[in-house]
Amino acid sequence: MNQRDFPEDFIWGTATAAYQVEGAAYEDGKGKSIWNEFEKHPSAIVDNAVGDVASDQYHRYREDVALMRDAGMKAYRFSMSWSRVLPDGRGTVNRKGLDYYKRLCEELLRNGIEPYLTWYHWDLPLALQEEFGGWESRETVKYFGEYVGRIAKELDGLVKNFFTVNEFLACSDVGYGLGAIAPGLKLPKKRRNQVRHHLLLAHGTALQALRGVVPDAKAGLAENPSFLIPVIPVPEHIEAAKKAFREVNAHFITAVMEGKYPDCYLEREGADAPSFTEDDFKLIGAPMDFVGLNLYYGKPVRSAPETPEGYFIFNAETAASCTGIADFNFEPSAMYWGCRIVHELWHPKEILISENGMSANDRPSSGSEVYDPHRIKYLRAHLASLAGALREGYPVKGYFHWSLLDNLEWHLGFRPRFGLVYVNYATLERIPKMSWSWYKELIRTGKIE
Ligand code: NOJ
């Protein structure tokens, strides 16, 4: 049997984000982001790590692109640092910063790799946080739309594929609710919910801005809904998982896909519900070209007629965990079920897996190879499940592994290593791990074995 599991034109790639890989935090006129401020607080980040150098992609992008080409990658998902191109979030464009992204895109294209640009991956310009309270304010949303429109035009046809906002939950709930990541605020629920709403609106505003200047752009979200899978694949549990998926994710992906807040969310929040207008939802619910799913974990669901909601979600801890971060339990079938449930609920035109991966404490052996069979096991299981979704005809077009290379895992510092490529942070040397070779072979054959 020589049958491929993935078609020839499947988009294989990897993903990163500016703060996590670029470094050059104060170079060439870049303005500060909320992370450059947050990281200074003692113990905000494990080991008091900072992003000044990170994986140094700002200076080593050619080397990184050469690696991607060698593996046969078709695409690279990276984010733009807003404050690198607009140091205050608005006003004059920093040409040197913009040139970096142009050079990166040109290098990618020269090597046959399609750039997929994320406009917002958590590093808000500090000036917007200080002046307007960041995402608490509609001013920030307005400036986000202006940034996207202006810079998309400046990119001059180099990029055709865009993600608007990466993961609403982290930006709003973790940044402005729990305070574990920048800007490190612990706002009351009502204000936190307003931040959530403004991020949805930022997504819609960016879509509108893009459509105006890059008519052939393809754009969508990169979102990490809670993935819920039927505990047993029989109709009662499948229906329960679908209902749970829609309701648990009501305030983010469901609101975007349905162009309104489901009643269950508004009822749940009561007086803490955000203020919004109908016009907001004209933007938020505008059609997208694809939905990007960042998929790291899943929870089993059973039908529970005895409860008011009709379903019961098992704790992730009940599933054996094999990945480096406790919340990210090993649940590969979330791939198949995630694609299927999203498709059955909303029929998006295309689905991309915009992130998926695991961290570990990888290190070179004495022969300086980096052996990571755990990551190969993770990849094989997740991609076999994804292949199942393709076999059944769900419109999955691509997969971006998180991550290309080891990088700064936000408040968790440099310890969790997510890369297919190992980074020696003392020398910044790159060493492709064994999983890199596995991925390369999969790209070549299109087959999971
Ligand atoms: C999702 C985020 O988008 C990314 O920045 C992060 O590093 C990975 N998950 C792993 O936690």
pLDDT in tens, 5-51: 999 999 999 999 999 999 999 999 999 999 999 999 999 999 999 99
Label residue 307 by pLDDT band (50, 70, 90).
very high
- CA dist list (Å): 272 to 189, 193, 217: 6, 7, 36
| Residue bearing tokens 């936000």 | 410
Q: How far is residue 128's CA from residue 121's CA, in Å, rounded to a whole number?
A: 15
Listed in sequence order, the residues at least 6 apart from 168 whose beta carbon sits closer than 8 Å to its beta carbon are: 196, 199, 200, 203, 223, 252
Tell me how far the alpha carbon of residue 306 lies from the centroid of ligand 1, in angstroms: 36
The two structure tokens encoding residue 12: 């294989």
Minimal CA–CA distance to 293: which of 362, 206, 193, 389?
Answer: 389
Q: How far is residue 38's CA from residue 75's CA, in Å, rounded to a whole number?
A: 31
Q: How far is CA 83 from its chain centroid?
A: 19
Ligand 1 nearest-atom number relative to CA 410: 7
Establish whether residue 21 lines the binding site of ligand 1, counting it when its CB lies within 6 angstroms of any ligand atom.
Answer: no
pLDDT at 414 over 90: yes
**Confidence (pLDDT) at 45:** 98
Minimal CA–CA distance to 270: which of 188, 190, 346, 330?
Answer: 190
Minimal CA–CA distance to 295: which of 244, 223, 375, 384?
Answer: 223
**Residue 56 placed within a domain:** yes
Cα four-point dihedral sign 201, 79, 258, 313? negative
CATH number, domain with residue 149: 3.20.20.80
List pLDDT tens digits, range 207-249.
999 999 999 999 999 999 999 999 999 999 999 999 999 999 9
Listed in sequence order, the residues at least 6 apart from 10 whose beta carbon sits closer than 8 Å to its beta carbon are: 74, 397, 398, 399, 446
**Residue 363 placed within a domain:** yes
Establish whether residue 294 lines the binding site of ligand 1, counting it when its CB lies within 6 angstroms of any ligand atom.
Answer: yes
Kindly report the number of other CB atoms within 10 A of residue 363's CB atom: 11
The two structure tokens encoding residue 299: 């929870």
Q: Identify the active-site residue in 107, 114, 355, 409.
A: 355
Minimal CA–CA distance to 128: which of 151, 153, 146, 150?
Answer: 146
Establish whether residue 247 lines the binding site of ligand 1, counting it when its CB lies within 6 angstroms of any ligand atom.
Answer: no
The two structure tokens encoding residue 239: 């229906």
The strands making up 228-230's β-sheet, listed across from edge to edge, are 228-230, 299-303, 311-313
The two structure tokens encoding residue 199: 């991020």
**Residue 358 placed within a domain:** yes
Q: For the full predicted model, state whether its pTM sits above 0.75.
A: yes
The two structure tokens encoding residue 19: 């703060």
Establish whether residue 406 lines the binding site of ligand 1, counting it when its CB lies within 6 angstroms of any ligand atom.
Answer: no
pLDDT at 367 over 90: no
Listed in sequence order, the residues at least 6 apart from 66 whose beta carbon sits closer than 8 Å to its beta carbon are: 111
**Residue 165 placed within a domain:** yes
Establish whether residue 362 lines the binding site of ligand 1, counting it when its CB lies within 6 angstroms of any ligand atom.
Answer: no
Q: Tell me which residue has its CA closest to atom 7 in ligand 1.
A: 409
Checking DSSP bridges between strand 299-303 and strand 228-230, what pairing results, if any?
A: parallel
**Confidence (pLDDT) at 142:** 98
Q: Identify the active-site residue in 167, 223, 247, 331.
A: 167
pLDDT at 317 over 70: no
**Residue 35 placed within a domain:** yes
Q: What angle do CA 355, 11, 391 make, to 5 degrees?
A: 90
Minimal CA–CA distance to 296: which of 327, 272, 264, 271?
Answer: 327
Mean per-residue pLDDT, 47-70: 98
The H or E element containing residue 105 is helix 95-110
Tell me how far the alpha carbon of residue 92 lies from the centroid of ligand 1, in angstroms: 30
Q: Look at the chain and report how many structural domains it folds into.
A: 1
**Confidence (pLDDT) at 324:** 76
Tell me how far the alpha carbon of residue 113 lies from the centroid of ligand 1, in angstroms: 22
Q: How far is residue 80's CA from residue 97's CA, in Å, rounded to a whole number?
A: 10
Tell me the backbone φ, ψ of residue 154, rounded to 5 degrees: -65, -30
**Residue 300 placed within a domain:** no
Tell me how far the alpha carbon of residue 163 lies from the centroid of ligand 1, in angstroms: 14
**Confidence (pLDDT) at 316:** 67
Contact present, 159 and 115 (Cβ < 8 Å)? yes
Q: How far is residue 121's CA from residue 80's CA, in Å, rounded to a whole number?
A: 8
27 tagged catalytic: no
Establish whether residue 402 lines the binding site of ligand 1, counting it when its CB lies within 6 angstroms of any ligand atom.
Answer: yes
429 tagged catalytic: no
Burial of 406 (0-12, 13-18, 19+ CB in 10 A): buried
**Residue 192 placed within a domain:** yes
Tell me how far the alpha carbon of residue 305 lies from the centroid of ligand 1, in angstroms: 35
Contact present, 237 and 314 (Cβ < 8 Å)? no
Kindly report the number of other CB atoms within 10 A of residue 316's CB atom: 18
Tell me how far the alpha carbon of residue 274 lies from the centroid of ligand 1, in angstroms: 26
The two structure tokens encoding residue 69: 């080409």
Q: pLDDT over 70 for what percent of the chain? A: 98
**Residue 316 placed within a domain:** no
Bridge partners for 221 per DSSP: 291
Residue range of the domain that includes 92: 11-226+249-294+330-445
Label residue 329 by pLDDT band (50, 70, 90).
confident
**Confidence (pLDDT) at 328:** 85
Label residue 315 by pLDDT band (50, 70, 90).
confident
The two structure tokens encoding residue 374: 């755990």
- CA dist list (Å): 215 to 9, 119, 285, 380: 23, 17, 19, 37
Q: pLDDT over 90 for what percent of the chain? A: 94
Q: What angle do CA 439, 52, 143 make, to 5 degrees?
A: 90
**Confidence (pLDDT) at 327:** 75
Q: Tell me which residue has its CA closest to atom 6 in ligand 1.
A: 409
Contact present, 229 and 237 (Cβ < 8 Å)? no
Establish whether residue 167 lines the binding site of ligand 1, counting it when its CB lies within 6 angstroms of any ligand atom.
Answer: yes
**Confidence (pLDDT) at 1:** 46
Ligand 1 nearest-atom number relative to CA 167: 3
Mean per-residue pLDDT, 113-122: 99
Cα four-point dihedral sign 199, 50, 27, 54? negative
Ligand 1 nearest-atom number relative to CA 328: 11
Contact present, 432 and 386 (Cβ < 8 Å)? no
Average pLDDT, the chain: 97
